[in-house]
Chains A and B, each alone.
Chain A
Amino acid sequence: MPEITFSALAAQVFTGLVLGGILVLMAIGLSLIFGLMTVVNFSHGALYMLGAYFAFTIFGLTKSFWVSLVLAPLLVGTLGFLIERFLVRPLYGRSPDDPLLLTFGLSLVIVETVKVVWGKIGLTVDAPRDLAGAVNLGFMNFPIYRLFVIAVTAVVLVGLWLFLERTNVGLVIRAGARDALMVRALGIDLGRVWLLVFALGITLAGLAGVLAAPMRGVYAEMGVEIIIECFVVVVVGGMGSLLGAVVAGLLIGEIVSLTTFFAPKLAEIVVFLTMAGVLLVRPSGLFGEAGRAE
């Protein structure tokens, strides 16, 4: 066990925020899509991975991380449009397992396509020069890039909150999540909203992938690893609950980070232990709305 200095501990706590931030971006996308469309997007992880790979290629072409940061998620989001329109939409009205099955197959296709196009060896994306190095926060040194990730996550969350709470489209989304039939009865075309929400969720996944790339690397299994962590987050936080996604995401991020510090051997399975624990104590998750496709 490393020496527990305050600054080392503080650094781990902040690292947990970074990890949590990535998880939150992913879980929110999953939760939004589920909340509105009752669709579980198994390919969320694969699209996160795609975001990282796109960033790699765009960076190779433009030599600019910033361009990659903006362009890669948009590309992934566009793919999201196509997926919703042509693969998920036809399944509306059928068993709720069907979109899960379909996106499962889709994730396999995406992962294998990536292996064919980019090869099976892991790739690297470097953080931009401006964000390299560490900053001295007084009580600890912390990599600037990671602070950047925390900042981006916070900005996105605030933006999302404003979007959902203060715009008309956001209102429709919230209403549609609560009672889709009624919204339709009021004459609102939910189809376009679904398209938007799906693409938005996917874009968030792509963004998470780009942000994670300089930290975790770019490799074909990254999608599977993250989707499992995401699933744990939504099981703990409750699907369809954005607050739950945020709290659970940050919580899991912190738990993993601190476990890595104090008991490294347990780090890989602590996620599962947490999930088991929550299941025993509060089966519906911390914030879940019991009864909703429970």
Chain B
Amino acid sequence: MIRAGLPMLAAWIAAHPLVSLVAFFAVFPFLVPHISLATQVLTYGLYALGFNLLYGYTGLLSFGHAAYWGLGAYGTGIALAKLKVGSLWVALGAGLGAAAVGGVVAGFFCLRRRGIYFAMLTLAFAQLLYFIAFHLADWTGGDDGLRGIPLHPLWLPGVSVSLRSPLAFYYFTFVLVVLAMAAFKRILDSPFGAVLQAIRENSDRAVACGYDVNRVKLLSFVFSALFAGLAGALEGLRLTVVPVETLYWSTSGQAVFMTLLGGAGTFFGPFVGALTYLVLEERLSRFIEWWPIVVGSVFMAFVLFLPRGIWGTLTGRLHGQPGA
């Protein structure tokens, strides 16, 4: 009974994604030792989600997703810390805008090639941004990172909410992530989403069917950058600091890792992956200094033996085909 129970539960969750998401994450902060961990699961999950849109659903492997995460973080951070913007919403908008611009520019160049070249190009773009951030120290704080980002109270109609308490910030993040997930679901369920997956399965055939594949890919790229940018902005606000490692290749690797761990091409995969990764990191990095070696080894093991990821395997096994 229990054995059948888990895949059945997984199937139910897969069939009711938004409800499950809201229900789980509404109580999540009380299930983990620190609220900050819960918030990180949300932000990193969203980051991985952005990556997943591009890789799992459109079939484009990006090794430079830290670029958009970083643009979101720096955009929001610079708006608040350097440009002295007073409204959190405007600052978030700035971060999103920066990520979107990055997505358009990177997409324009990187999509000129396919497959592995595309992957290499995305990495190069992210590394370029890393250099720029390193050197524009007046704006980005250079090697020390952008510090002292003021966390203004949130302006809502009629009320101003302070986000200083970790729980308040968690629910602020929670609401934004749920909205983002709803948007994500809307994208996937739309004809556009169907074309995305068609491109993943057989790009040439999609072209033959008459779809403007290049435009669809670019749009997917920009959406993906927006999700990653929002996530980066939120994480920047949470930390009130944006370290320069935000743009480093290892941060790009985290998105890849979490998505693969959870299950590429699945709705919840990124969050499952983020949760697993962050919990393991929290538990293990205290005892094992060589924690990244564990990460890399587990990653390789997943590529070799469990390519569908945790969630992908759970949902896949029931239907015998790619799950939700």
| Residues of chain A having any CB pair with chain B under 8 Å | 34, 40, 87, 90-91, 94, 96-98, 100-102, 104-109, 112-113, 116, 224, 228, 231-232, 234-235, 239, 268-269, 271-272, 275-276, 279-280, 283-284, 293-294
Q: How many residues of B contact A (CB 8 A)?
A: 37
Which residues of the other chain, B, contact A90 by a CB distance below 8 angstroms? 304
Please, which residues of chain B bring their CB within 8 A of the CB of A102? 300, 303-304
A40 nearest in chain B by CB position:
B116
Query: Which among A91, A108, A113, A294 is the interface contact of B115 at CB below 8 angstroms?
Result: A294
CA distance A94 to B250 in the complex (A): 25
Residue of B nearest to A95 (CB): B307
- Cβ–Cβ contact B289 & A235, under 8 A: no
In the complex the two chains form, is A87's CB within 8 Å of B300's CB?
Answer: yes
Whether B121 is near chain A, meaning CB under 8 Å from some CB there, is yes
Do the beta carbons of A97 and B127 come within 8 Å of each other?
A: no
Q: Is the CB of B256 within 8 A of A104?
A: yes
For B131, the chain A residues whose CB sits under 8 A away are: 268-269
Apart from the given pairs A96-B116, A231-B121, 17 other A-B contacts in the complex at a CB distance below 8 Å: A34-B116, A87-B300, A97-B61, A100-B119, A101-B61, A101-B260, A102-B300, A102-B304, A105-B299, A108-B296, A112-B293, A232-B120, A235-B120, A269-B131, A272-B124, A293-B115, A294-B114
- Cβ contacts B234-270/A at 8 Å (1 or 0 each): 0000000000000001100100110010000000000
- Indicate if B20 sits at the interface (CB-CB under 8 A): no
In the assembled complex, the CB of B306 is this many whole angstroms from the nearest CB of chain A, namely 12
- Are the CB atoms of A232 and B116 closer together than 8 Å? no
Chain B: which residue is nearest A229 at the CB level? B124
Chain B residue at smallest Cβ distance from A116: B290
Residue among A34, A235, A284 with the highest chain B CB neighbour number at 10 A: A235
Check if A106 sits within 8 Å of B296, measured CB to CB: yes
Asked whether A228 lies within 8 Å of B303 as measured between CB atoms, the reply is no
- Complex Cα–Cα for A29 and B73 (A): 37
- The 9 closest A-B CB pairs, nearest first, are A108-B296, A105-B299, A109-B296, A231-B120, A105-B300, A112-B292, A272-B128, A283-B112, A102-B303
* B63 close to A (CB within 8 Å): yes
- Interface membership of B211, Cβ < 8 A: no
